[in-house]
Structure 1
């Protein structure tokens, strides 16, 4: 039987949140700094490099003056919500999963292009797509769900085909109560889940 040895965090750092992706992990410390380790293909560790692998936690290069409050690791990309109320993403982006309107790989966090007047309150990074709950006061009062990235299996929930390179609202279930709000979301491999307030 093999013995598992957890990676050593940097000295005097206490991790308060963690998220495991396909071949990498993220951890948020008590000061809002984010660390990553594991495979770094496509820059998904966010340290400004595409070095193949990091066996110890490295600090994610957050924008100046921004700390992260929420993290989510996907297959080839990572996401975070910043202390400035913006959502950031980095890593693989061929399918538009970073939500910055481009298919360009990013090895440091870039701001997700959110709809005007909307901030995201929850995030989930999937395989080639991303999900978020917005506080936009729309049909759901608050908590409208947004999705972007690959849509080959309908995982974005828009009711249409084709990839989406910026966040777009998820369709309201036809049998649902239009006044309900989304409470939580989870992005999987080629599917998505959302739990409403009902």
Structure 2
């Protein structure tokens, strides 16, 4: 097993699991075989992928379920499926990016359209999307023109995209909070601030925000 330089980081469980899965795909042995390596606590069977799963190019982890994007553009899910979160819609193909939340899943297709399931379907007519994100209660889509579309539960403002927000290059979300990184490296936040802990510092040159 190769060794990697690292710094001590602090994660919530869901963020750490996503990080572990991402690391697993970067290991030379795993990248070459396109098979998955798992370790840690298996809540809801999330560490028990389907037997013989190969050709994996991206993985996404929710709280108790996981998704795998295969090289042929199809998606495989496993783990808890209480609401249908680990069961991709029939006929889903042409996928280029996936994301998983608490009990929600989302897929970006090569034609710029989005499929999300089971609780918050993508808005009708949504297109020209280049990146997606999903959390417990809502979804975000970054469009090719640098604008952001949000949908889902807006009880705490996570879906209320700031008026005039533009020049966005990356979006992310966690629980009832949303983040957008702009082309100038600044970060825009909206939604639940969790007593101020979610407000980003006055950073510049930010590439992406990974809440957890």
Which residue of 186, 189, 196 corresponds with 2:172? 186
The question of whether the paired residues in 2 share the 8 Å contact of 1:77 and 1:98 is answered with: no
The separation in 1 between residues aligned to 2:177 and 2:60, in whole angstroms, is 19
Equivalent residues of 1:44, 1:77 under 8 A apart:
yes
> In 2, distance between residues paired with 1:126 and 1:190?
8
Q: Is the 8 A contact 2:98 2:106 kept in 1?
A: yes
Residue 196 of structure 2 aligns with which residue?
none
TM-score norm. by structure 2 comes to 0.59
Match of 1:63 in 2: 91
- Measured in 2, the distance between the counterparts of 1:27 and 1:129 equals 21
Confirm or deny: 8 A CA contact 1:24 1:45 kept in the other structure.
yes
User: 1:34 deviation in Å?
Assistant: 0.9
Q: Gapped runs of 5+ residues in structure 1?
A: 47-59, 100-111, 136-141, 159-169, 174-179
- Off by >6 Å, runs of 4+ in structure 1: none
Any conservation in 1 of the 2:49–2:78 contact (CA below 8 Å)? Answer: no
Structure 2 match to 1:197: 183
Structure 2 unaligned segments of length 5 or more: list them. Answer: 1-38, 185-212
CA distance in structure 1 between the aligned counterparts of 2:49 and 2:114, rounded to whole angstroms: 28
Q: What's 2:106 paired with?
A: 79
CA apart distance, 1:11: 2.9
> Do the aligned residues in 1 keep the contact of 2:146 with 2:169 (CA within 8 Å)?
yes
TM-score by length of 1: 0.63
**Which whole-Å CA distance do the structure 2 matches of 1:119 and 1:155 have between them?**
22
User: How big is each residue's C-alpha offset from its partner over 1:170-195, in whole Å with a ceiling of 9 and x where there is no partner?
Assistant: 5235xxxxxx5111011110101110
Aligned residues: 141
Question: What is the root-mean-square deviation in Å for CA atoms of aligned residues?
Answer: 2.2
- The question of whether the paired residues in 2 share the 8 Å contact of 1:98 and 1:130 is answered with no
Q: Does 1:171 align with 2:169?
A: no
Counterpart in the other structure of 1:133: 142
1:78 and 1:20 map into 2 onto residues whose CA distance is 9
The answer for the alignment partner of 1:114 in structure 2 is 125
SS across alignment from 1:43: coil
Indicate the structure with greater strand content: 1
